[in-house]
Amino acid sequence: MFESTAHKFPHKEALVFADTAATYAELLEASKKSAAALRDAGVAKGSRVGVMTFNTPGFVVAALGIWRAGATLVPINHKLSGTEVAYLAEHSGISLGIVSEELAATASEAAPEIDWLTTNDDLTGSFDAAVGQAPAWEGVAVSEEDVAQILYTSGTVSRPKGCMHSHRGLATVAAYTSATVGLRREDRFLIAMPIWHSSPLNNWFLSMLFMGGTTVLLKEYHPIEFLTTVQEHRTTAFFGAPIAYLAPLQVAKAQGIDLSEFDLSSMRVWTYGGAPMGADTVRTLQAAYGSENFYQVYGMTEMGPVGTALYPEEQVKKAGAIGAGGMPGVDVRVMTLGGEPALPGQVGELWMRSDTRMLGYLGDPEATEAAFEGEWYRTGDLARVDEDGYLFIVDRLKDIIITGGENVFSPEVEEALLQHPKIADAAVVSRPHPDWGETIVAVVVPAEGASVELAEVQEFLSSRLAKYKIPRELLTREALPRNASGKLTKHVLREELAG
């Protein structure tokens, strides 16, 4: 796929970072030299290579070289602690690591048995130097079903699991994604979210390789730098969690900056994922960014990720939904816990089917078997379908709270909590209770300068929720634990409560 694009558009910009750029011909040559450098470092077909970097050219050159050498790419979250890096390095069985120089100490201390090569913004690290000195190498033949990537889940409910994806599966993700949001070869896609994450890497970077577009890398997301990059590089598309869109509004307000000062007229596709947005939030963002061309995408790491999409014309009238049916190439259905198709309005588990699905979880055949029902992947997300066929996520299956025999869906309670003027962020979890089975605990972040008491929160919720859904405990935090995609990691809160 990459070579086909490079041969068609050799002189077109493929990659932009800060004030540097590489054409497709240059990136193709770099991938061949990268493969040779990796081979000389001991990488062979089937080897697993960890890459833990910021959004820099080093990641791209490493990934393309790894694939050309017939090895498997293992992206590693650069925000992980040393203990977490050690777990991923051991679990994945990487034989070599490539790391941003700023992160080298963490990586080396976490996994000293691994040889970590460094990459810098200016490509002067040990890996960069090896690539620069290596001769071009065509690489080895690979099968479509060879493992191209081991992508670790976000770990919102348990320890991360390694999803093994094939070359064919990843190429198909790019095709389905490009069709979903109408990407073009003229597009300049801004990747500001971490490129090691499934959506920036597979949905968007690979889509640009597939279409012949240009990838613009921002080393790390910053609310104002994000807007500056759009303006300076005339980007046309972007993906981020809802907070990536809301943060610039908050920072601009705090610093007295007028968002209209930024020229965002080049942008034609705004995509978001990780959580739905309410109608008022959508209207606010449409006004702030001067566009109604917002897409919501929902997917799972196990599926590539592909899943569903909510299109621009549906953003307000079906706010909160994740779409009606699957993306091109994806089937979805909602099944009751009894194994029957759910009726409109009935809550069940969302299942998905696509030829982008993972080959399985690394080293965990039991979890792989439990995740699938024939061709269907069981997402673990509870959903309902409305009368128009639109899907709404209700909760994670493992996050249901059963108190006094009643099912409580935590997002419903969280949404009500966030309507309280003194609450800036909220998560709802449970504690074991000897009489009720579980009791509901609200963990909230107070608004700046505010203090929140349980009694006033209960009074506030009394007109909004059934009595059994109202939290019996209230804890305050300066911030809630979230992963890189902005999702709440509720298992961290549960572990705190258990401790």
pLDDT at residue 12 in the model: 98
pLDDT reported for residue 158: 56
Residues 6+ apart with CB under 8 A from 302: 153, 163, 357, 358, 371, 377
Q: What are phi and psi of 399, to 5 degrees?
A: -100, 0
Three-class SS state of 184: coil
Q: Is 256 exposed, middle or buried (0-12, 13-18, 19+ CB in 10 A)?
A: exposed
d(CA 276, CA 424): 17
Instruction: Check residue 384 and give its pLDDT.
Output: 93
Domain with CATH 3.40.50.12780 in the chain: 188-396
pLDDT in tens, the chain (499 residues): 999 999 999 999 999 999 999 999 999 999 999 999 999 999 999 999 999 999 999 999 999 999 999 999 999 999 888 888 999 999 999 999 999 999 999 999 999 999 999 999 999 999 999 999 999 999 999 999 999 999 998 654 557 899 999 999 999 999 999 999 999 999 999 999 999 999 999 999 999 999 999 999 999 999 999 999 999 999 999 999 888 898 899 888 889 999 999 999 999 999 999 878 889 889 999 999 999 999 999 999 999 999 999 999 999 999 999 999 999 999 999 999 888 999 999 989 999 999 999 999 999 999 999 999 999 999 989 899 999 999 998 877 777 787 877 778 888 899 889 999 999 999 999 888 877 878 999 999 998 889 999 999 999 999 888 888 999 999 999 999 887 666 778 878 888 887 6
Question: Which residues of the chain are in CATH 3.30.300.30 domains?
Answer: 400-498
The DSSP H or E segment spanning 297 is strand 294-299
Radius of gyration of the chain (CA): 23
3-state secondary structure 88-146: HHHHHCCCEEEEEHHHHHHHHHHCCCCEEEEECCCCCCHHHHHHHHCCCCCCCCCCCCC
Distance separating alpha carbons of residues 24 and 69, to the nearest angstrom: 19
Q: Report residue 44 as tokens.
A: 């062979």
CB 259 within 8 A of CB 248: yes
Rounded Cα–Cα distance for residues 371 and 391 (Å): 21
Angstrom distance (rounded) from CA 2 to CA 314:
34
Structure letter (DSSP) for residue 342: P
Fold held by 188-396 = Rossmann fold (3.40.50)
Strand order in the sheet with 237-240: 20-23, 13-17, 214-217, 188-191, 237-240, 269-272, 294-299, 307-310
- How high is the pLDDT of residue 466? 80
- How does DSSP assign 230-294, residue by residue? HHHHT--EEEE-HHHHHHHHHHHHHHT--GGGS--TT--EEEE-SS---HHHHHHHHHHHT---E
Q: Which residues contact 468 (CB under 8 A, 6 or more apart)?
A: 403, 404, 406, 408
pTM: 0.85
CATH of 400-498, one of 1.10.357.10, 3.30.300.30, 3.10.620.30, 3.20.20.70: 3.30.300.30
Return the sign of the alpha-carbon dihedral for residues 87, 90, 93, 96: positive
Report d(CA 376, CA 412) in Å as an integer: 27
CATH architecture of the region 2-142: 3-Layer(aba) Sandwich (3.40)
Residue 407, pLDDT score = 75
Is the preceding omega at residue 305 within 30 degrees of 0, hence cis? yes
Tokens standing for residue 441: 């605990």
Report the DSSP beta bridge partners of residue 20: 17
